[in-house]
Structure 1
Amino acid sequence: MGGQYKITGDKYPRMRPARRRGRLAFAAVACATVLGVLGWGTMQLIDVFTGGDEASAAGAAAGCRAAPARASASPAAAAVPKPAQVTVNVLNATTRGGLAQQTADELKKRGFRIGDVGNAPKEFDKKLDASGVLLGPASALKGSLPVLGTQLPAAERRTDAARGGTAVDLIIGNGFKGLAKPADADAALARLTAPQPTPAAEKKGC
């Protein structure tokens, strides 16, 4: 061959540009770099959309564990009246004379207000074998009756929906042995009027 591609000695002419292999290598490195960046970016996006929620959930769970449950006073305890706010009618359904007045005097010493003192109505008179009956209006079921009940725990509690007023009756029956001991009655009254702790509402998500 002659001219530009004339062969001399043991060297042969190059038929393609010398730098093409270098460009291919550079392109391969560039592609690997781009893929790496895309992969890293994808991982970051996944972490943003998942890891953030997990961290928030973990923080909320830690807050639930760390925050102690608070107690609140029961509104029922706050509604319980004091003995001085309870008017008691003491009625004797037995044949023992003077029993109603003696019982009324003792209740007065314990702080109760005394209303009528006398014999029980016919429906109870000489017909009551129990120690007693506590009778009041429907509104007294969770108020005055439990307070009076601390003085005579064995007495039956009844309400009369047709009855008005706020006074309650203590009807003494044949099984009456006396009021509860002052110490026992005071302890029962303290438990009744003390605020009762109730669990606070749990936080949402805990």
Structure 2
Amino acid sequence: MGGQYRITGDKYPRMRRPRRRGKLVVLTVASVAVLGVGGWGTLQLIDVFTGGGDSASAAGTKACSAVASPAASPAAAGKALPRPGTITVNVLNATTRGGLAQKTADELKKRGFRIGEVANAPAAYDKKVKGTGVLLGPAAALDTALPVLGTQLAGAERRTDPARKGVELDLIIGDGFRGLTAKADADLALTSLADPKPTPASKKNC
């Protein structure tokens, strides 16, 4: 080109390449993330090998202990259970169905229990027992004779009367009564009551 815009000399203006700031930012963020994940993993390993999870372990131990402990029973508590032959049962009918008391008394006698009075229930219970039945006895029978009799009538309510004298029990038949527990099942329940087995802990809960 001629004129005043002629370029002279051997140096030419150079164009600088645009700086890649975006890549630098991405690389920086990625580096921080990798370091953070690595540090978290290291802390987890330290907790595992140094017992950092003591609180969780203690909680797990308590849960396992609760599962493994069997329910308290008269035998486990050191109380001797009476044999059926030493328990006298009064069989009382609180329903409008006739003959239930005698039939039930006969079956209990076959199973080894002593039978006392066989009659209709007193006014306090007559036609007022909606469930299977009520087992009633003195306070001393709560953890001894009542559980033994309870094996013969599953679902019966157990009650004690502190003012009651003697050792006899009452089996009061209610509207929901359909018969005594099957003998095989009653015998099994009686055996379990006399010699309870601890429930094994579940591995899933430990």
Q: Same fold (TM over 0.5)?
A: yes
Letter of the 1:142 partner, please give it: D
Q: 2:137, 2:146 within 8 Å by CA — same for their partners in 1?
A: yes
Letter of the 2:180 partner, please give it: L
Q: Please give the alpha-carbon distance, in whole angstroms, between the structure 1 residues aligned to 2:129 and 2:196.
A: 35
Query: Deviation of residue 180 (structure 1)?
Result: 0.3
Which TM-score applies when normalising by structure 2? 0.58
Q: 2:79, 2:144 within 8 Å by CA — same for their partners in 1?
A: no
- Residue 80 of structure 2 aligns with which residue? 79
Q: 2:93, 2:174 within 8 Å by CA — same for their partners in 1?
A: yes
Letter of the 2:192 partner, please give it: R
Q: Please give the alpha-carbon distance, in whole angstroms, between the structure 2 residues aligned to 1:76 and 1:184.
A: 24
Query: Deviation of residue 153 (structure 1)?
Result: 1.5
- Residue 15 of structure 2 aligns with which residue? none
- Runs of 4+ with >4 A deviation: none
- Residue 114 of structure 2 aligns with which residue? 113
Q: Please give the alpha-carbon distance, in whole angstroms, between the structure 1 residues aligned to 2:150 and 2:107.
A: 14
Aligned length: 124
Query: Deviation of residue 76 (structure 1)?
Result: 3.8
- Deviation per residue, 1:40-78 (Å, 9 max, x gap): xxxxxxxxxxxxxxxxxxxxxxxxxxxxxxxxxx56455
Q: 1:138, 1:159 within 8 Å by CA — same for their partners in 2?
A: yes
Letter of the 1:174 partner, please give it: D
Query: Deviation of residue 195 (structure 1)?
Result: 6.4
- Residue 187 of structure 2 aligns with which residue? 186
Q: 2:85, 2:113 within 8 Å by CA — same for their partners in 1?
A: yes
Query: Whose radius of gyration is greater, 1 or 2?
Result: 1
Q: 1:77, 1:196 within 8 Å by CA — same for their partners in 2?
A: no
Q: 2:91, 2:117 within 8 Å by CA — same for their partners in 1?
A: yes
Letter of the 1:124 partner, please give it: Y
Gaps of 5+ in 1: 1-73, 198-206
Q: 1:78, 1:195 within 8 Å by CA — same for their partners in 2?
A: no
Query: Deviation of residue 196 (structure 1)?
Result: 6.3
- Residue 157 of structure 1 aligns with which residue? 158
Question: Any idea what SS the aligned residue of 1:192 has?
Answer: helix
- Residue 177 of structure 2 aligns with which residue? 176
Which TM-score applies when normalising by structure 1? 0.58
Letter of the 2:99 partner, please give it: G
User: Quick one: percent identity of the two aligned structures?
Assistant: 67
In the TM superposition, what are the counterparts of 1:88-103 in structure 2 within 5 Å? Answer: 88-103=89-104
- Residue 129 of structure 1 aligns with which residue? 130
Question: Any idea what SS the aligned residue of 2:107 has?
Answer: helix
Gaps of 5+ in 2: 1-74, 199-206
Query: Deviation of residue 172 (structure 1)?
Result: 0.1
Q: Please give the alpha-carbon distance, in whole angstroms, between the structure 2 residues aligned to 1:99 and 1:196.
A: 35
Letter of the 1:123 partner, please give it: A
Q: 1:77, 1:194 within 8 Å by CA — same for their partners in 2?
A: no
Q: CA RMSD in A?
A: 1.5
Query: Deviation of residue 79 (structure 1)?
Result: 1.0
In the TM superposition, what are the counterparts of 1:134-153 in structure 2 within 5 Å? Answer: 134-153=135-154
Q: 2:95, 2:175 within 8 Å by CA — same for their partners in 1?
A: yes
